[in-house]
Structures are given as C-alpha cells and as structure tokens.
C-alpha cells in the first residue's frame, strides 16, 4: 500500500522540481539580460562622453596650432621691424644732414661753415636720439683704464697722467644700458718717462 502511494506521488514531485528549476533559470536569465542592458547603456554613455572629449581635444589642438602660427608670425615681424622706432627717430637727423649739404652747395662762400654747423647739429641730434634708447658714450680721458670698457691700443709715458690711466681716446666706446656695445679705443699712460735711461747720442748722417 505504501509502495503504491510513493509511486503515485513521484510524478508530482518531479514536476515540482522541474517547475522550480525552470523558475530559477528564468530569474538568472532575466538578471543577465538586465545586466547586459545596463552595460550597453553605460557603454553608450561612455561613448558619447568620449566623442565630446575627442571633439574638445580636436578644437583645442586646432586653437593651439593657430596660436603657435600667430606667435611665430609676431616673432618674425619683431625681428624684421624691431628697430622701427629707433630708425623713425633717426630720420630727422638724416634730414638735417641733407639740409646742410644742400645749403653748402647753394652758397659756396658760406658752404664750409654751413657744413660744419650742420654736422654739429646732426651729431647733437643723433646723440640725443641714441640716449633715448639707452645708448651712452663711455667715459675715457683721465679715467682709470678698465679692460671691460676700454681697449688699449698703445702705452705712452706721461708726466701729467697717472700710470694705468687713459691719455687719449682714438675712438669712442658706447654702452646700451649696462651692456657694452663697443669698447673705447685708447692709449694708456705707462707713467713718467724713466730718467735713468742711458742717453742715446744722435746718429750721424
């Protein structure tokens, strides 16, 4: 009797197990599908973010290239026209030189005086113009010799100028602010002439 009852209950138990397993499988499949959907949405979002960032990068790269070209063009123009203001300031000096020459040609009697006056005026104007841009002459005569600003081309004995001081200036030197543009060419005192040098008799002709 019990055996028959157990055998009668077996199909229903099997059906119950199959139904339970099927439900669990369906739940797992639903979970996987839901997860895949979430991942697809996340991937889509990240793809859109990548596109936005990539477009931004391309715009920045293009702007940087344009900026670099502008800077390079400005640097070329600065090299080409960097002395524009200085040259503009020198034009009146050129005008005065031309006027002096013209006046000398028109008036032969006063020609030499006109040229001298014109050159003096031009020189003063040129010195003043250069001073505006920081160009100053280097002091020489009577100054102590300074190898940083003076170039000695000769040494001469002198009773009036102390040893290692400048006796004469042959060519002016100039500095731009605190930088030497050109050293002054000078002669330097070697001190008084030695009195104990042997007397050299004059040579007979």
Encoding tokens for residue 28?
Answer: 């797992």
What pLDDT does residue 173 have? 92
Name the nearest CA neighbour of 183 among 141, 146, 131.
146
The answer to whether the beta carbons of residues 149 and 133 sit under 8 Å apart is no
Question: Which strand (E) or helix (H) includes residue 49?
Answer: helix 2-81
Instruction: Encode the chain (205 residues) as per-residue pLDDT tens digits.
Output: 554 555 445 555 445 545 555 566 777 777 888 888 888 888 888 999 999 999 999 999 999 999 999 998 888 888 777 788 888 888 888 888 787 777 777 776 666 777 777 788 888 888 898 898 899 999 898 899 999 999 999 999 988 999 999 999 999 999 999 899 999 999 999 988 875 544 444 344 3
* Domain ranges (residues) in the chain: 28-72, 84-133, 134-192
Encoding tokens for residue 139?
Answer: 């002091």
SS (H, E, C) 125-153: HHHHHHHHCCEEECCCCCCECCCCCEEEE
Residues in the chain: 205
Give SS3 for 201.
Answer: coil
Give SS3 for 175.
Answer: strand
What pLDDT does residue 84 have? 81
**Residues in CB range of 104: below 8 A, 6 or more apart:** 110, 111, 112, 114, 115, 118
What pLDDT does residue 19 have? 53
Encoding tokens for residue 196?
Answer: 């104990």
Say if strands 184-189 and 150-156 run parallel, antiparallel, or are unpaired. Answer: parallel
- Class assignment of domain 134-192? mainly beta
What pLDDT does residue 92 have? 86
The single-letter DSSP state of residue 123 is H
What pLDDT does residue 14 have? 47
Please give the distance of CA 129 from its chain centroid, rounded to a whole number: 25
CA 151/CA 203 separation, integer angstroms: 36
């Amino acid at each position: 009797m019990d055996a028959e009852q157990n055998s009668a209950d077996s199909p229903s138990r099997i059906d119950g197990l199959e139904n339970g397993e099927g439900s669990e499988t369906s739940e797992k499949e639903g979970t996987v599908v839901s997860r895949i959907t979430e991942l697809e949405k996340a991937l889509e979002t990240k793809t859109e973010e990548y596109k936005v960032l990539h477009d931004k990068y391309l715009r920045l790269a293009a702007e940087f290239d344009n900026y670099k070209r502008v800077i390079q063009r400005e640097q070329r123009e600065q090299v080409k026209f960097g002395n524009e203001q200085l040259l503009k300031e020198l034009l009146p000096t050129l005008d005065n030189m031309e006027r002096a020459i013209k006046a000398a040609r028109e008036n032969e009697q006063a020609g030499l005086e006109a040229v001298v006056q014109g050159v003096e005026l031009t020189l003063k104007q040129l010195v003043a113009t250069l001073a505006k841009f920081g160009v100053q002459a280097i002091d020489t005569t009577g100054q102590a010799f300074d190898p940083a600003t003076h170039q000695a081309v000769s040494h001469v004995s002198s009773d009036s100028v102390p040893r290692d001081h400048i006796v004469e200036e042959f060519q002016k030197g100039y500095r731009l602010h605190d930088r030497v543009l050109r050293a002054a060419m000078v002669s330097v005192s070697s001190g008084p002439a030695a009195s104990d040098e042997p007397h050299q008799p004059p040579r007979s002709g």
